[in-house]
Amino acid sequence: MTRYRTFLSVLATFLWVAMVWAETPTNGPRTKKNAGRRPPVTATAPKAVPPKVPLVTPDSLLRQADRMVSWKAYGRAIDIYTQLLADTEGPLNAPQRTAATVGLANAYRLVGDNTKAEKYYRDWLARVPATERRPQPVLQLAQTLAANGKFKEAEGFYEEYNQLLDAQKARRAAEVTTEAGQRSRSSQPVQYRLESLELNTKNEEFSPMYYRNGLVYVAGSKGGSAIETAGSGGGSGYLDLLYIPNRNDILASTIIGPDGSEVKADNPRNRRRNRVGEDAYTRPTSNDSKTVPSFSGGIRASEGLGYDARPVSAAQQFSKSLNTRYHEGPATFYADGSRIIFTRNNYNDGKARKSAEGVNKLKLYTAEQQNGAWVNVEEMPFNSDEYSVGHPTLTRDGRTLYFASDMPGGQGGSDIYVTQYQNGRWSKPVNLGTTVNSKGNELFPFVDEAGNLYFASDGKRGLGGLDIFMATMAGTAPQTVEHLDAPINSPQDDFGLITDANRQSGYFSTNRRNGSDDIMRFVRQSSLYACRDLTIRLYDADTDQPLDSVQVDVVGRTEGGEDQQLITDKNGLVRLCLQGDSEFRFVSSRDGYVSSTVGFSTQGLTDDQPSRLEIGLSKPTLMIDTVYTAVPGSAADMANLTRSRIRGIVATERDQRPIEGVTVTLRNECDKSVQSVVTGPDGVYVFDLTEGCDYTLVTRKPTYGTSTKKIKKLPKKSKPKQVEADVRMFSVGDVVTLDNIYYDLDKSTIRSDAARELDKLVSTMRRYPSLVIEVRSHTDSKGDAGYNRELSTRRARSVADYLVSKGISRKRITARGYGESMLLNNCTDGVICTDDEHQRNRRTEFKVLAIK
């Protein structure tokens, strides 16, 4: 807009901000509001004693206690909460003590001890101000008081709970809309390619609007002198609506890359072959007429509407019936193209009207399309001779209209208003308030298909002049406002943006290149947001039912990738927004299921569509040994063998001693017949086998684990064979050392070589589903005894966590570190020992605590 503000002050045209810009010199520099930038931004040697590392923090114990509650292990939760509250070595801070107190109260409530629950809930009340109370503990207190017969007091807390719940819902609603509007806006500017279009001239072209397949925009020139707004003239200086019927015909003259580089566009017109009759020396033929060859050939939107086809990028007058000797534009259209709402000076039925101050204001008019002409031009009901109304934009359903106006009662300058079509008429306009409007001017609104409202403002902090902003809307109420990054905005005037719901492409107006208003096309070349919406569904792989309470650890694998820990809801869902251009690993775990690890990458993604992952968790498979081959017996045994048989010895797992009194059962899987025997002092059992049938061998004894083996069928019509199947059984109190479990120095992380050995323990736990164990970790005597105890505790917990990740229930595992308190030799402090002797003490083992 060359000297645009002077132009406005003289004419009171489509921006009608004469009073704001009246003092701008005609040929002087354009004053920039808010042009400032954002502020930058050995054995005899004494033992080395490592620093004591706090391994078990109050926060981790709190999380563990909360997890016990979720698993209904209330007794263990009470123990942990009580330990925390009684801890004097590492005192809790105020928030931690508050959390432990209310947690303990809830645990007592869940086990039915309402007297103790009430005591700790009252302790919680004394610690938490009324303004900081959460609804759930207040509800639990009310329930506890009612259970204790204190109904009147309980009623008061029920009322408080309802009030807190309503306030919480209101806050959450506000937070959700805020997140929706400011959804992790990219820390890096969004990348766009800009195109300066061939339709631009030395005059003004601005405020584009979609119409069918084409583009309608405002164009004109200022002329050599001020243009009269009264009288019979008009002249070249007036603004009209121009039209290009097909947007695909609009060519670019210059392409501006995301880095600001400019190149001349490769214009396809220069390469296009002329059709017969289109050049200067070939006569046209009848085949040159525009006809529709078939139903599939398509119809140009402009045909039959009274507009002549023009050469590529050549614009034409939009409508002779709408363009007058005064200013027209900007405009908006109903979705079907049948109606238009447009801006024009106060001129109708051949008459111009002025305000009391003698200014010809702007108004909004509507017209309908009939037989290629726009007819029945009418004023909108909220127009006035005393203030301006213009810059309309309609929602897709045509029932909500946003526009700009300087009507009294606004925030200052011109503001954005909204009106709705209800019961056959437009409602009273409502100012969008200070979220959108400022003391400056808000102009050129546009609403996209998703309901996002774009507008230009010189009263909000931007890059200078008019800048483009986007408001997220809840209905017609603005929630948040976002300033668009460069290169959409610049230090000059930028306004009149139109785009799709995802801002993938569109057009806007700017005077950044040569001082006059031009229309630019943009194409987004990066993601619109810094994070990508992802929904993860966790389900049972066998039943396809959703799994709640699954812990999903989100691990960022590249710089910038954030680590998180989430829990699935009752529908098995977690929702998160992942940072762009990063890689992630999702580790999903739940008690009784084998953990799953899935990778996901946001690198190279430019679309902004939400993603979804489906992750199935499987329960661990019961491990059953299978005996495949027959083992020849002694020559004497085989000579007397008339039928195939199975024999074996049942012995202890720890020292292979025969076990007496074990019930051994053999089931024929062909006819389901069962044989049974009880072992003697030698622990031996013997059964006959029928060739061609599978068998199941089960051994049982109280205080010993039940063992199950599958016996693969022997071939029919074969010579009698003997199958050897010895059985090893655990008993309560057994301690088994896990071989080859090594750790890096001062580390507790499970190494890959240790994981292979631990998988054998996983198989054992699956083979004995009633086995309950204690994982015990030991160190040598090197280093500080306290540190060694803490290190061994971490290591034991790492083993337990590994077992849980393989689907072993945490209820079956207790982890304990013994440090150097249970050495297997005399390598204590001050004793010289070899590395091999110290290695004997560095071990991991498990003890059988119970077999149900």
Span 139-181, pLDDT tens digits: 899 889 988 989 889 888 888 888 887 776 666 555 444 444 4
Q: Where are the beta strands (DSSP E) in 630-757?
A: 645-652, 663-668, 674-678, 684-688, 695-700, 707-711, 722-724, 727-729, 735-738
Element (H, E) at 637: helix 635-640
Overall average pLDDT of the 603-626 stretch: 74
- The whole-number pLDDT of residue 267 equals 66
Mean pLDDT of the residues in the chain: 78
Contact between 706 and 768 (Cβ < 8 Å): yes
Q: pLDDT at residue 25 above 60?
A: no
Q: Does domain 58-181 sit in CATH 1.25.40.10?
A: yes
Render pLDDT for 351-390 as a digit per residue (tens, 0 to 9).
788 888 888 889 999 999 988 889 999 999 999 999 999 9
The per-residue pLDDT for 324 is: 77
CA angle 735, 739, 742 (to 5 degrees): 120
Q: How many angstroms separate the CA atoms of 273 and 653, rounded?
A: 89
CA distance 434 to 411: 7
In percent, the amount of the chain with pLDDT more than 90 equals: 32
The Cα–Cα gap between 492 and 486 comes to: 11
Instruction: Confirm whether 58-181 and 625-729 share one CATH topology.
Output: no
Question: Omega of the bond prior to 330 within 30 degrees of 0, cis?
Answer: yes
| In CATH, 4-18+192-268+306-524 is 2.120.10 | yes
**Structure confidence at residue 322 (pLDDT):** 84
Checking if the pLDDT of 519 tops 60, the result is yes
**What are the distances in angstroms from CA 225 to CA 64, 354, 362?**
80, 21, 21
**Tokens found for residue 678:** 């009880």
| CATH number among 3.30.1330.60, 3.40.630.10, 2.160.10.10, 3.10.20.30, domain 735-851 | 3.30.1330.60
According to DSSP, the β-strands at 695-700 and 707-711 are antiparallel
pLDDT at 300 over 50: no
The whole-number average pLDDT for the span 717-727 is: 84
CA distance 404 to 14: 10
CA 458 – CA 24 distance, rounded (Å): 15
The label of the residue with tokens 């929904």 reads 535
Mean pLDDT on 531-536: 82
Question: Region 552-574: what's the mean pLDDT?
Answer: 78
Question: Please, which pLDDT band fits residue 133 given cuts at 50, 70 and 90?
Answer: confident
Q: What's the pLDDT at 41?
A: 29
pLDDT band at residue 488 using 50, 70 and 90 as cut-offs:
very high
pLDDT in tens, 615-651: 999 988 765 666 655 555 555 566 667 788 899 999 9
Given phi > 0 = left and psi -120 to 50 = alpha, else beta, which region is 322? Answer: alpha
| Domain residue spans of the chain | 4-18+192-268+306-524, 58-181, 531-617, 625-729, 735-851
The end-to-end CA distance of the chain, in Å, is 86
Q: What are the tens digits of pLDDT across the range 56-114?
A: 567 778 877 887 786 677 888 898 888 888 865 556 788 888 888 999 999 999 888 99
pLDDT of residue 636: 55
Amino acid, single-letter form, for residue 221: S
Q: 113-127, 266-280, 688-702, 708-722: lowest mean pLDDT where? A: 266-280
Please say if the pLDDT value at position 205 is more than 60.
yes
User: For residues 299 and 141, which has the higher predicted lDDT (pLDDT)?
Assistant: 141
Domain 531-617 - what CATH class? mainly beta
Nearest-angstrom CA–CA distance, 707 and 506: 71
Q: Which amino acid, one-letter code, is at 825?
A: N
| pLDDT of res. 9 | 35
User: Comparing 272-276, 368-372, 797-801, 829-833, which segment has the lowest mean pLDDT?
Assistant: 272-276
pTM above 0.85, yes or no: no
Q: Cα–Cα distances in Å, from 358 out to 196, 382, 776?
A: 39, 20, 94
Strands 663-668 and 252-256: unpaired
Q: Which of the residue ranges 11-15, 557-561, 815-819 has the most confident prediction, judged by mean pLDDT? A: 815-819
Computed on alpha carbons and rounded to an integer, the radius of gyration of the chain in Å comes to: 41
**Inter-residue contact 314 to 223 (CB < 8 Å):** no
Fold of 625-729: Immunoglobulin-like (2.60.40)
- Kindly report the number of other CB atoms within 10 A of residue 605's CB atom: 15
How far, in Å, CA of 511 to CA of 152, rounded?
A: 71
Sheet bearing 477-483, strands edge to edge: 442-447, 453-457, 467-474, 477-483
